[in-house]
Every structure is written in structure tokens, then in C-alpha cells.
Amino acid sequence: MRSRRLAAICVRPEQSLADAIACIDASGGQIALVTDEAGRLRGTITDGDVRRGILGGATLASSASDVMNPSPRTAHQGAPRWEVAGRLKREQIAQMPLINGDGIVVDILYADELGGVDTNRHPVVIMAGGLGTRLRPITETIPKPMVPIAGRPILEIIVERFQQQGFRSITLCLNYLGEVIEEHFKDGARFGVEISYIREEKRMGTAGALSLLSPRPALPVIVMNGDILTSVNFSQLLSFHYDNLALATMGLNRFQYQSPYGVVQVRNQNIVSLTEKPTYDFFVNAGIYVVSPEALDLVPADQYFDMPSLFDQISLDRRVAFPIHEYWLDIGRHADLERASWEFPKGHLVESGENQ
């Protein structure tokens, strides 16, 4: 009989990708096992498989079999634990199903039982110096990251989520009304983290302030804009960065836009096609990144520099897209602020789902 531990992370091939994501969440954000009626392993789906599937056009309604890895690495029932642990470390994978002679899953071993991505050691940098011009007149007296959502500053919610996920070292990059932010957070002790500050004397862009980090980080840094609400698992983001041998990883949000007009394609004077109010589906920069120390060396010292310019300097095979299927909202306009004020108290921040 299948244990509750396994039942919670198993999904049938015909079930939806949304069901598979629920299983991944049940496994602590690592894996869903795709099994048939008898419990035989047909494939696995990791968080990375989900995001690669989304990049390839999959949706939450797609079937689990569309994105699964049909040839997962496994170990046989009865294999010594030390042997499986050695394979996990040697092959740099996060988990391994154990199967019996009939191919039925009997257990699973996780690498984090031996020590996985250590979030405590990875620094976080939050860009909190924006002017927030689109949120005026609110931002005439308070900096944009301190705009309240359900009575709490946006930046406080962000810091709390990092703290809950095990991150302890956070640097806030300040400019406009930075003293308001510094007075609120101080050294971070009240929030269970250690907070340091970079005080920009001039506009540095979305990446320029990274040149002011001292000492230079020895591990990849998570960089995030200070006006975003998201339920992204940042440990998964780091794992994705490592798994893809990236120098820089950019979080992407799927965005859909329906044109209010009929779109006409023309060649010379001839109408080639006419599409009435088409819907465009594309990815946009989500303002969440992972930057390795080697990529930080590409940021020029003490001058304006933005993230797209940094990614342009990195070879194509070392800059990686991390599609976000979790809740994500950039609070850049009054309409976004109103939406966040309604959704956050209802728990939308901890739910997964496609973004609109």
C-alpha cells in the first residue's frame, strides 16, 4: 500500500499540470511522480520541468505527460542509503525515487535531507530607490516600497517572505526618501534578518548599484525590485540557476494582452490578413534575478547600468529564463495598488496560478 508521503506527490499522466504543481508543493517544492494505476513510475516532473514546459507553450491545463521527464534517474529498493546519497551528490540532483522489481515506486530520497541549497548563505539585494512617479501623489511623501498594502509596507512583505524562506542577509539599495526606509528597518533584527544598505548618491539603474556591494559576494545573489508581490519559492529559483549553469537568471511573467482593434497585416498595398481583436501572449521581465559573482564583475563601477545591459554582455547559453507560474504583481500604477489591496488580505500571495 502506498504511503501517504508518496500519495501526496503522485499524479497520473492524464492529470493537469496544475495538479502536478500541487504535488510539487506537497514535496516541499521539488518533484511530482507520474505513476500509472498500479503505481509504476512513468516519469517525473520537477519545478524546472514545469518552467521549461511553460517556456515551450504549456499551460496549467496541459497534461502532466506533456512536461514530464519520461526517463528519470531512479534507484532500486534496498539500495544502501549511502549509495543513493552518493549518487544524488555526484549527479547533482535533488531527489531520487526508489522502485521495486516491477517498477513500482516504494520511496523517495531527497538531497536536502543531506543538505541542499543553503538559502542562509545566499545574499539578497532589493532595489528600493525608485521614484514611483506613477503612484503620485502617494509617493510625494513616502518612497514607493513603503506604500502600504493592507496596512503594511510592500517592502516589509517582501522582506518577510525572504525571512520565511531561510534568507538572512539582505541589502537594500536606497535613493529617493531612503531615510524613511532605513528608519523603518534599521539593522533588520526586528524582522529576523540582517539588513545593510547601499545609499546611491545618483541614479544607478537596476544593476549599477551591484558594483557597490562590498565585499564582493562569493555566491549567486538574488536581486529583486522593491515593488513586487510574489509567492515565488526563491530556493527553487536558486536551484534552477545552478541546474542550468547560469551566470544570470531572469524571472519572467507570462502576460496576455487583447488588442481593442482589428490588426491588419499589409504587404505593399495589399492586405495580407485581418485579425479582429487578437490576443497576444508573451513573457515580460518580472524584476527578479539571480546574478553569479562572475556576472557581477561585468557591472561597471559607480555608474548607471541596467539589468538588460548586463544580460546583453553574457553569452546566450549562460543567461537563463525562469518562468513564473506563481502569484506575481508589479505595483507600478494606482490600479495595481488597488488590486493588491484587495488580493493580499485574501491570501492570493500564497496561491499558485497563471498571471493575467
Share of the chain above pLDDT 70, in %: 91
Give dist(CA 177, CA 297) in Å, integer: 29
30 vs 196, more confident: 196
Q: Do domains 4-113 and 119-350 have the same CATH topology?
A: no
Which of the given ranges, 40-54, 68-82, 134-148, 339-353, has the highest pLDDT on average?
40-54
Q: Is the pLDDT of residue 106 over 80?
A: yes
- Average pLDDT score over residue span 139-150: 83
For residue range 173-189, what is the model confidence (pLDDT) as tens digits? 988 888 888 889 999 99
Q: Assign 289 a pLDDT band (cuts: 50, 70, 90).
A: very high
Residue scoring higher pLDDT (28 or 103)? 103
Please compute the mean of the pLDDT values over residues 219-223 and round it to a whole number: 93
Task: List pLDDT tens digits, range 57-103.
Answer: 898 899 999 999 998 889 888 776 667 776 776 677 778 888 988 88
- If we measure between CA atoms, which residue out of 320, 313, 308, 322 comes closest to residue 294? 313
Return the residue matching grid coordinates 553569452.
315
Question: What is the reported pLDDT for 351?
Answer: 43
Tell whether the model's pLDDT for residue 148 goes beyond 60: yes
pLDDT of residue 346: 59
Domain 119-350 has CATH 3.90.1150.10: no
Q: Where are the domains of the chain?
A: 4-113, 119-350
- SS3 assignment for the chain: CCCHHHHCCEECCCCEHHHHHHHHHHCCCCEEEEECCCCEEEEEEEHHHHHHHHHCCCCCCCEHHHHCECCCCCEECCCCHHHHHHHHHHHCCCEEEEECCCCEEEEEEEHHHCCCCCHHHCCEEEECCCCCHHHCCHHHCCCHHHCEECCEEHHHHHHHHHHHCCCCEEEEEECCCHHHHHHHHCCCHHHCCEEEEEECCCCCHHHHHHHHCCCCCCCCEEEEECCEEECCCHHHHHHHHHHCCCCEEEEEEEEEEECCCCEEEEECCEEEEEECCCEEEEEEEEEEEEECHHHHCCCCCCCCCCHHHHHHCCCHHHEEEEEECECEEECCCHHHHHHHHHHHHHCHHHCECCCC
Per-residue pLDDT band at 196 (split at 50, 70, 90): very high
Q: Does residue 134 contact residue 179 with C-beta atoms inside 8 Å?
A: no
Residue pair 10/33 in contact (Cβ under 8 Å)? The answer is: yes
* Confidence at residue 1, expressed as pLDDT on a 0 to 100 scale: 43
Superfamily of domain 4-113 in CATH is: CBS-domain (3.10.580.10)
Q: Sign of the CA dihedral 321, 322, 326, 328?
A: negative
Please determine, for residue 355, whether its predicted confidence score (pLDDT) is greater than 80: no
Looking at every residue in the chain, the average pLDDT score rounds to 85
Mean pLDDT of 119-130: 86
Strands 148-149 and 152-153: antiparallel
Which pairs from 86-92 meet CB under 8 Å and 24+ separation? 88/114, 89/114, 92/242, 92/243
Cross-strand pairs, 126: 172, 224
Grid cell of 108 as nine digits: 523517495
Residue 112: per-residue pLDDT: 64
Cα–Cα distance list, 71 to 21, 44, 66, 83, 354 (Å):
19, 8, 13, 20, 28
- For the segment 283-291, the average pLDDT, to the nearest whole number, is 92
Q: How confident is the model at residue 126 (pLDDT cuts 50, 70, 90)?
A: very high
Q: How far apart are CA 318 and CA 116, in angstroms?
A: 22
Location of C-alpha cell 531615510: 179
Name which residue leads in pLDDT, 314 or 176: 314
Q: Are 25 and 53 in contact (CB under 8 A)?
A: no
| pLDDT value of position 114 | 47
Write down the pTM of the prediction: 0.70
pLDDT of residue 352: 40
For 48, phi then psi, to 5°, come to: -65, -40
Please check the confidence at residue 115 and state whether its pLDDT lies above 50.
no
